[in-house]
Amino acid sequence: MKITRISSLVVNANMRNWIFVKVETNQDGLYGWGEATLEWKTAGVVGSIEDIGRLLIGEDPRRIEHLYQVMTRQYFWRAGIEGMSAISGIEQALWDIKGKALNVPVYELLGGRVRDTIRLYNHLGGGQMNVMYESTET
């Protein structure tokens, strides 16, 4: 299995842009999604995804730790906040691919289920908590 393409998708959500990362493979229909949003730094994160993504083309997406080292140690300078947001989104997409390839949820790859419930925080505002609760899946 090899990485064939890494791209970003910017979605405007009124108060901010959401930046999603898609990592595609040479396996038909196998790809992963990650999220790399950094408020007010959209162009920097998207540029970092493009720059860092080039390093991973042709690599095995299941070698997540190796690819993390490639992404963080390739350059003389540290990645900075925009670069680390890009790396985070790419890494999430790699975990998504690995989970799909093994037919297990990512949380199982990361040690298994820990909680039965989670607390929610409505950061974006503009909504009512009961509406948010009703729209979530348990």
**Residue 118, CA atoms < 13 Å, CB-side half-sphere:** 8
Other C-beta atoms within 10 Å of 113: how many? Answer: 8
pLDDT for the residue numbered 119 = 83
Place of tokens 């350059």: 75
How far is residue 100's CA from residue 103's CA, in Å, rounded to a whole number?
Answer: 5
What fold characterizes domain 3-113?
Answer: Enolase-like; domain 1 (3.30.390)
Question: Which of the pair, 116 or 127, is modelled with greater confidence?
Answer: 116
pLDDT for the residue numbered 78 = 78
Other C-beta atoms within 10 Å of 59: how many? Answer: 15
How far is residue 81's CA from residue 35's CA, in Å, rounded to a whole number?
Answer: 14
What average pLDDT does the chain have? 90
Beta bridge partners of 10: 19
Domain residue extents for the chain: 3-113
How far is residue 3's CA from residue 8's CA, in Å, rounded to a whole number?
Answer: 15
Other C-beta atoms within 10 Å of 10: how many? Answer: 13
Other C-beta atoms within 10 Å of 79: how many? Answer: 18
% of the chain beyond a pLDDT of 90: 70
Confidence of residue 39 (pLDDT cuts 50, 70, 90): confident
| Cα-only R_g, the chain | 16
Q: pTM of the predicted model, to two decimals? A: 0.84
Say which amino acid occupies 59: E
Does the structure show a pLDDT above 70 at 137?
Answer: no
